Amino acid sequence: MTDHPLPGSGAVPPHFTQQAGALFEEKAAAYVLNLSELSQKAAKRTHDEMVTKRHVEDAARFLGTTPTQNLKDILVKVFGVVGATLFGSGISQLLSMASANEYTKDGVWGSMALIVIGVLTAAYHILNN
């Protein structure tokens, strides 16, 4: 058994000053409240009546990330969308030229550039996911 008290127990953790212990209790209680609220929101998103272990794990993972990490995750997803769009655009242009049997040097190079850039940005998304 550990000698660390539970949040809200009113006991100051060992090796903490009185002020540090009070701040610890306050922060721990706020974390538990946020974890509970986010777990309930996760359950509602999946239309579950009860909060499951998975919901609590997802909420804890979210609370454990910094805003910078959340922004990075969003940017990586945007890179994936942009990459897929550029790739599809390049393929579409090549197919249009092939079906019309009208190729231009600039059209082929432009399409290939879109395809390469699209593949690279989509690969970045895949590797960071």
Q: Are 38 and 62 in contact (CB under 8 A)?
A: yes
Instruction: Let me know whether 57 and 73 are in one domain.
Output: no
Indicate whether 33 belongs to any domain: yes
Instruction: Let me know whether 37 and 79 are in one domain.
Output: no
Instruction: Let me know whether 123 and 71 are in one domain.
Output: yes
Q: Which residues contact 23 (CB under 8 A, 6 or more apart)?
A: none
CA dist 35 and 58 (Å) reads 10
Indicate whether 6 belongs to any domain: no
CA dist 75 and 98 (Å) reads 34
Q: For 119-128, how does the pLDDT look when each residue is reduced to its tens digit (9 = 90+)?
A: 999 999 888 8
Instruction: Let me know whether 48 and 77 are in one domain.
Output: no
Q: For 49-81, how does the pLDDT look when each residue is reduced to its tens digit (9 = 90+)?
A: 899 999 998 888 888 777 777 788 888 899 899
Indicate whether 49 belongs to any domain: yes
pLDDT at position 3, please?
53
Domain hosting 105: range is: 67-127
**Across the chain, what does the average pLDDT equal?**
86
User: Is this structure's pTM higher than 0.85?
Assistant: no
Indicate whether 7 belongs to any domain: no
In this model, does residue 2 exceed pLDDT 70?
no
Indicate whether 88 belongs to any domain: yes
CA-angle at 46, arms to 42 and 62, nearest 5°: 25
Instruction: Let me know whether 39 and 56 are in one domain.
Output: yes
In this model, does residue 11 exceed pLDDT 70?
no
